[in-house]
Structure 1
Amino acid sequence: MPVRPASVDELVTRAQKLSGRTLEELATAAGVPTPTSLNRSKGWVGQLLEWHLGASAGSKPEQDFPELGVELKTLPITAAGKPLESTFVCIAPLTGIAGMQWAASNVCNKLSCVLWVPVEASPTIPLAKRRIATPFLWSPSNEQAKLLRQDWEELMEMIALGEIESVTAHHGEVLQLRPKAANGSALTPAIGRNGQIIQTRPRGFYLRSHFTHSLLKAFFGI
């Protein structure tokens, strides 16, 4: 595995050198097979990029490059340059959240500085032949940070008030809360309507695709 980058500039340079290369080329260089599809290989593209870029955090609740303060996010895009789906940020805490503030939240930490790596994801292109587009570094503007914070505070208030089962993907302007689990039988403790502990499906915070599309348009000058 490549050594960890010593600086943000080194990380960005390393990422940009992947631009234009196919997933098959990257997999061969990493010594791993390329799956025929991602149906049973969720996260494979992200893990492949983590290997090439020297990421260290893995599934820990911290940034992928904690020593640099940078999070790595892949962004599957269509031929027209539009994100195909919303972007997972992190698992949402459903208990023990009294007094939790935005500035100390995992969402704020993860999104404080992100290295976005757009990847071709059109279903008409075989997985092995999909290419890496130009990666870019992003930190939220004041207006973007305000929107993220407002959504996070609204969603966390609903969780704290025991309304987790009432939260839908329609809540939140740029940030949404959705079930996040390998299967529907996975359950985790949460706060119920009367303050009691209930069992519910784990939830994750996701960035809406129209938000990540706006980042792509701003970076590429569209």
Structure 2
Amino acid sequence: MEINYDEKDPISIKEYGEKLIGSTFADVIREAETSYELKQETIGKVNRPGYKGGVGHLIEKFHFGYELNSNQEADFPEAGVELKVTPYEIGKKGGYSAGERLVISMISYEKAVEENLYSSHLYNKLNLSLLIHYLRDRSIPRTAYPIDYVTLFSPPEEDMKIIEQDYEKIISKVKDGKAHELSEGDTMYLGACTKGSNAEKSTVPQKYYAVESKARKRAFCFKQSYMTYVLNKYVLKKVDTYESILKDTQDLKEQSFENLIIDKINAHRGKTDEQLKKELGLNSRSKSFWSALAYRMLGVRSNSAKEFVKANIEVKAIRIEENGSMKESISFPSISFKEFEYQEWEESDFYNDLSSKRYLFVVFKKNGDKYVLKGAQLWNINNEDLEAARDGWLKIQDIVRRGVHLEKKPSKNGKTFTVENNFPEKSDNPVIHIRPHASKRYYELGDGEIIGNDRKCGDELPDGRMMTKQSFWLNNNYILEQLDAELKE
């Protein structure tokens, strides 16, 4: 293919990129002006199971005609355009989501921190991006992935205000010598994601702290949740029906978005659930009643908010009993045992969700027959507890790999029975446990016996048996420990 575009013109670059639509990565390689041997070698290398390179490199080299580099300027500096080749996926129940976070630029712990986002090298790389989306289907070779969309994207002003606050939070930790405390869940849209195969191999010294202190390598990224919003809003151009908490960007001049939402909730402190129900116009106590109260306090009438969708923030009503206990643990989506068996921790669905998710805890404490609002807190897991969760995850994965032990046992009354497994107990890990996700049980045991009537409530184990769908849960006593003291009084 003849390489013919104006490197100074974003529209020309986009139009040249649009020639990729309908092609696979194999097509891109085959059409390049290079030797047949190199083409075949490249296709073979990319399709190997252990391939770690990005398919984006193929677009850079074989379509746009430039070699991979680590320059701090944009890929097309004269046009101010950064090239990003990124996957999207179609869910089992329909719907489109970003396949991963979008890595933008490494965070330096050695060079002087760039105080102003708008004059930083990071801004050069996020201000205008050429997004090339391909459909990822893990059942076919990588080079067979189709390229479907090519879009020029700049974050809108309302997002840039929050991205700027995210940037300031990240660089403040770096300047304070606390890069080892950075977490992708600290921020809203712009995250600090880990880079490197594991913690031991990817730690480096911090310039701003004691000599012996090291921190994980990290990069600025747009969170996966933010990229899912961008995909649906700006690429697929679906109608945006989400309500916004932020009514005017001027509201962020004097305070952060995070403080704004906490203040909105805390303005109602001391009110009972019945008072809030009347004041906020809720008519029934449905399953979503408690989260609906929180959204109404935030000025949102539906049970979702645009900013929370972008930032992967989940509203969670916490109800504390009069004796100070908390009954409910917090669940994550059910796992697929066959996928879970082969996942690496930092590439797993659970890690991606747990490390980047934030919770808005809206805390109520029981007083007689009512619950009183104590206030709100934004929370995300810290790195130490994330490591504890990793230990629990690995132990469970090892059991799945070796074969889950399922044993049918009669109950104490002798009239019914249970199916026990050898997964760890909740008390075995301070942060997480695993237990059923489905409301009904379903098992297909090794002897051919089937327990339960609804196969949709089960998931296939690697050895072909089936057991009731399982989820990871954050322990209720762990969540209780994370709450600010004043919220538990």
Task: Calculate the TM-score normalised by the size of structure 2.
Answer: 0.42
The Cα shift of 1:165 comes to: 1.2
1:72 aligns with 2:83: yes
1:150 aligns with: 165
The superposition leaves residues 96-118 of structure 1 with CA deviations (integer Å, 9 ceiling, x where unpaired) of 43562111222211001000000
Larger C-alpha radius of gyration, 1 or 2? Answer: 2
Q: Which amino acid aligns with 1:13?
A: E
Question: Is the Cα contact below 8 Å between 1:56 and 1:65 reproduced in 2?
Answer: no
1:59 aligns with 2:59: no
1:110–1:121 Cα change, 3 Å: same
Number of equivalences: 219
The Cα shift of 1:37 comes to: 4.2
1:16 aligns with: 18
User: Which among 20, 28, 31 is matched to residue 29 of structure 1?
Assistant: 31
2:58 aligns with: 48
Unaligned residue ranges in structure 2 (runs of 5+): 239-489
1:127–1:189 Cα change, 3 Å: same
Greater Cα offset, 84-93 or 118-127:
118-127
Considering only aligned residues, what root-mean-square deviation do their CA atoms show, in Å? Answer: 2.2
2:180 aligns with: 165
The superposition leaves residues 18-37 of structure 1 with CA deviations (integer Å, 9 ceiling, x where unpaired) of 10111111111234321214
Q: Tell me, what secondary structure is at the counterpart of 2:85?
A: strand
Greater Cα offset, 86-95 or 48-57:
48-57
Q: Which amino acid aligns with 1:50?
A: E
Output the CA distance in 1 between the equivalents of 2:119 and 2:197. 27
The superposition leaves residues 32-63 of structure 1 with CA deviations (integer Å, 9 ceiling, x where unpaired) of 321214642322x1111112124467221111
Q: Tell me, what secondary structure is at the counterpart of 1:152?
A: helix
Question: Is the Cα contact below 8 Å between 2:101 and 2:224 reproduced in 1?
Answer: yes
Output the CA distance in 2 between the equivalents of 1:39 and 1:105. 35
Greater Cα offset, 55-64 or 19-28:
55-64
User: Which among 221, 229, 237 is matched to residue 214 of structure 1?
Assistant: 229
Question: Is the Cα contact below 8 Å between 1:55 and 1:65 reproduced in 2?
Answer: no
Q: Which amino acid aligns with 2:237?
A: G
The Cα shift of 1:139 comes to: 1.0
Question: Is the Cα contact below 8 Å between 2:84 and 2:132 reproduced in 1?
Answer: yes
Output the CA distance in 2 between the equivalents of 1:55 and 1:81. 31
1:38–1:141 Cα change, 3 Å: farther
Output the CA distance in 2 between the equivalents of 1:151 and 1:127. 34
1:126 aligns with 2:141: yes
The Cα shift of 1:187 comes to: 3.8
1:100-139 matched pairs, under 5 angstroms? 100-139=115-154
Output the CA distance in 1 between the equivalents of 2:56 and 2:20. 13
1:56–1:146 Cα change, 3 Å: farther
Unaligned residue ranges in structure 1 (runs of 5+): none
Question: Is the Cα contact below 8 Å between 1:4 and 1:55 reproduced in 2?
Answer: no
Q: Tell me, what secondary structure is at the counterpart of 2:96?
A: coil
Question: Is the Cα contact below 8 Å between 1:89 and 1:206 reproduced in 2?
Answer: yes
Question: Is the Cα contact below 8 Å between 1:73 and 1:116 reproduced in 2?
Answer: yes
Structure number with the higher strand fraction is: 2
The Cα shift of 1:186 comes to: 3.8
